[in-house]
């Protein structure tokens, strides 16, 4: 249902370095890079992407209150790997990997904030 989600950055090269290394962990990479900075990451074109860019209006990028991007993982080990890699790259921990309530739902997740403060979740259901 989601084609892509976009988050803002105030330091495009730093953000690209973070996401290049983070998404390498799960076999994703840069699929698109436009001259104005819009950079899309995913596993292949035509599949959901996460894009990072300076704001189009030229103003400072800010974090959306209540906004979060959820990255679906193949398994719990991939959730663990994404969280660990994000922290290694300088992300802030927002919740260690583990089952979330209600446990019978099988929602295994980890949360972190990227270098610009955007909140992301890596998760696996089941």
Per-residue pLDDT of 77-88, as tens digits, reads 999 999 999 999
Helix (H) or strand (E) run with residue 87 in it: helix 76-88
Average pLDDT over residues 53-82: 95
User: pTM higher than 0.85 for the full model?
Assistant: yes
Domain boundaries, the chain: 4-55+67-125
- Which distant-in-sequence residues (6+ apart) come within 8 Å of 89 by Cβ? 18, 21, 22, 115
* Residue 35 clears pLDDT 90, i.e. is over it: no
Q: What does DSSP assign to residue 60?
A: P
pLDDT at 10: 96
pLDDT at 109: 98
- Which distant-in-sequence residues (6+ apart) come within 8 Å of 68 by Cβ? 111, 119, 120, 121
pLDDT at 2: 86
Average pLDDT over residues 95-119: 96
Q: Does domain 4-55+67-125 have CATH number 3.40.50.300?
A: no
pLDDT band at 67 (very low <50, low <70, confident <90, very high): very high
Query: If DSSP codes are grouped into helix, strand and coil, which group holds residue 7?
Result: strand
At 1-18, the pLDDT tens digits run 789 999 999 999 999 999
* Residue 68 clears pLDDT 80, i.e. is over it: yes
Instruction: Report whether 116 contacts 84 (CB < 8 A).
Output: no
Tokens linked to 18: 């973070």
The Cα–Cα gap between 86 and 16 comes to 13
């Amino acid at each position: 249902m989601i084609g892509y989600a976009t988050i803002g950055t105030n330091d495009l090269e730093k953000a690209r370095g973070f996401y290049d290394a983070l998404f390498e962990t799960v076999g994703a990479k840069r699929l698109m890079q436009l001259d104005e900075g819009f950079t899309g990451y995913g596993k292949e074109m035509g599949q959901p992407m996460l894009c990072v860019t300076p704001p189009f209006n030229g103003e400072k990028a800010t974090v959306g209150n209540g906004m979060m991007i959820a990255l679906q993982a193949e398994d719990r080990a991939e959730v663990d790997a994404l969280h660990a890699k994000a922290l290694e790259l300088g992300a802030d921990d927002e919740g260690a990997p583990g089952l979330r309530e209600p446990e019978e739902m099988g929602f295994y997740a980890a949360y972190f904030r990227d270098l610009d403060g955007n909140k992301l979740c890596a998760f696996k259901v089941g």
